[in-house]
Amino acid sequence: MNLTVNNYSSAVKNIDFSKLPEEMKMVHDKWSQFSKFYKKSDKITEMIDNHLRAVQPYTKVKSSKTVSKPSKPKEVAKKKVIKKVTPTKKKTEKPKRVATSKKKTVTKRTPKKAVRKANEVSVMPLEVKFIKRYLSLNDKRVTEKQISLFYKTIQKSALEKRIRKSDKYSAEIMKISKDLAQTYKEMNNSCKFEVPSSLFNKLKKISDSYGVTPAIALIKRFVNLYGNITKEKATRLLKSISNAKKNGKVTSSDRAYKRLIEVEGHLEKYLDSDKLIVTDVQLNGLRGIAGLGK
């Protein structure tokens, strides 16, 4: 028979709840209180339904013991159980589970160390900026205006001697300039830009080797936040500084380390007092080291 709220008291008389899980015992002990709110409270109704389903198997076990006392069918059943027990010797391969648990303990997380760029700079060299800009066009649709403007920018930098023949990547800039000019002549209003594969691989290595020094990048973030700072932005930047120091992106040997600690102090004071107090001298100094000018 199914166990219900109505037949619960009579059906569970022979069950020893002290041997059952604590949750089942607790509900049973307070049954008279809980059953009053059945179908009146969703939480109590759900709890009682779960309890009835959990207790149901125990009522069947009790009833089977009381109805059928030791008889031939039970003896046969016992024999069958004994026969089935013998093959279970093969299941003594349980140590495999222990082995898997050991594997879990062996795999310990090691803190990730920051990968530093081969060439970390305070301000990105102009020719590297051009290389990065050129690579960003690859496999994208471009217009005549975009190509023309990029070509003229390179030519202007050469005339103003901001890019010289003696520069480290002057040969690569020359190739970029020629490719832009050729593309402009052959395109019609717009085209899908493709960097020659032989040139792409070489330029990609150069581009990937350069990055702004992490400490400088964090200082730039602070300077850009000045005048538009919020508690949320300040907290995020403080966390970034803390993580950079932990994973080795920023170390005490960095040239801008002291300035970054200065920034960290400004942020902490701001979060405490809700006022960001930075003098013009301090701000100009931070702008200068970040290559942002005055």
The DSSP call for residue 68 is: S
**Boundary of a domain, candidates 211, 232, 257:** 211
Which residue in 2, 5, 3 sits closest to 39, CA to CA? 5
Note whether 234 and 225 are within 8 A (CB): yes
C-alpha 217/C-alpha 211 separation (Å) is: 9
The answer on 198 and 225 residing in a single domain is: no
3-class SS of residue 188: strand
Residues 216 and 184 in one domain: no
Residues 124 and 203 in one domain: yes
Instruction: Tell me, yes or no, whether 14 and 74 share the same domain.
Output: yes
**Among 210, 224, 198, residue whose Cα is nearest residue 129:** 210
User: How far out from the chain centre does Cα 245 lie?
Assistant: 19
In the block, residue with structure tokens 């994973």:
247
Note whether 198 and 229 are same-domain residues.
no
Structural domain includes residue 89: no
Instruction: Give, for all 294 residues of the chain, the pLDDT tens digit.
Output: 688 888 888 888 888 888 788 888 888 888 888 888 888 788 788 888 888 888 888 876 444 444 444 444 444 444 444 444 445 555 555 555 555 545 555 555 655 666 777 777 778 889 999 999 999 999 999 999 999 999 999 999 999 999 898 888 999 999 999 999 999 999 988 999 999 888 999 999 999 988 888 888 998 899 888 888 888 998 999 999 999 888 888 888 888 889 899 899 989 998 888 888 888 888 888 888 777 765
In a domain, 1, yes or no: no
- The Cα–Cα gap between 276 and 107 comes to 45
- Count up the domains in the chain and report the number: 3
65 and 136 in a single domain? The answer is no
229 with 153, same domain: the answer is no
Same domain, 50 and 127: no
> For the chain, how long is the longest CA-to-CA vector?
109
**Any idea what DSSP says for residue 114?**
P
- Asked if the structure places residue 109 within a domain, the reply is no
CB-CB contact of 219 with 289 (8 Å): yes
Tell me the C-alpha to C-alpha distance, in Å, between residue 185 and each of 27, 137, 147, 188, 190: 85, 17, 10, 8, 11
Q: How far apart are CA 245 and CA 260, in angstroms?
A: 10
Amino acid sitting at position 76? V
Q: Measured between alpha carbons, how far is residue 203 from residues 133, 135, 172, 181, 218 in Å?
A: 11, 8, 8, 18, 27
CB atoms within 10 A of CB 259: 21
Does residue 100 sit within a domain?
no
Question: Among 152, 179, 211, where does a domain finish?
Answer: 211
Residue burial 279-288, b: 16+ Cβ < 10 Å; e: rest: eeeebeebbe
29 and 62 fall within a common domain: yes
Task: For residue 264, count other CB atoms closer than 10 A to its CB.
Answer: 17
List the domain range (segments joined by +) for residue 142.
Answer: 120-211
Are 133 and 144 within one domain? yes
58 domain-assigned: yes
Pairwise CA distance, residues 145 & 163, whole Å: 23
Q: What is the pLDDT of residue 82?
A: 47
Whether residue 192 is found in the same domain as residue 250: no
3 state DSSP class of 244: helix
User: Mapping DSSP to helix (H, G, I), strand (E, B) and coil, where does residue 182 land?
Assistant: helix
Q: Which whole-number Å values give the CA distances from 6 to 2, 9, 12, 16, 210, in the listed order? A: 11, 8, 12, 20, 78
Q: Are 187 and 244 contained in the same domain?
A: no
Q: Is residue 107 part of a domain?
A: no
Residue 203 placed within a domain: yes
Q: What is the C-alpha to C-alpha distance for residues 4 and 53, in angstroms, rounded to an integer?
A: 9
pLDDT value at position 111? Answer: 53
Residue 178's pLDDT is what?
A: 93
Q: Is position 74 within any domain?
A: yes
Domain end residue (candidates: 211, 244, 272):
211
C-beta separation of 169 from 127 below 8 A: yes
What six digits make up the tokens of 149? 């403007």
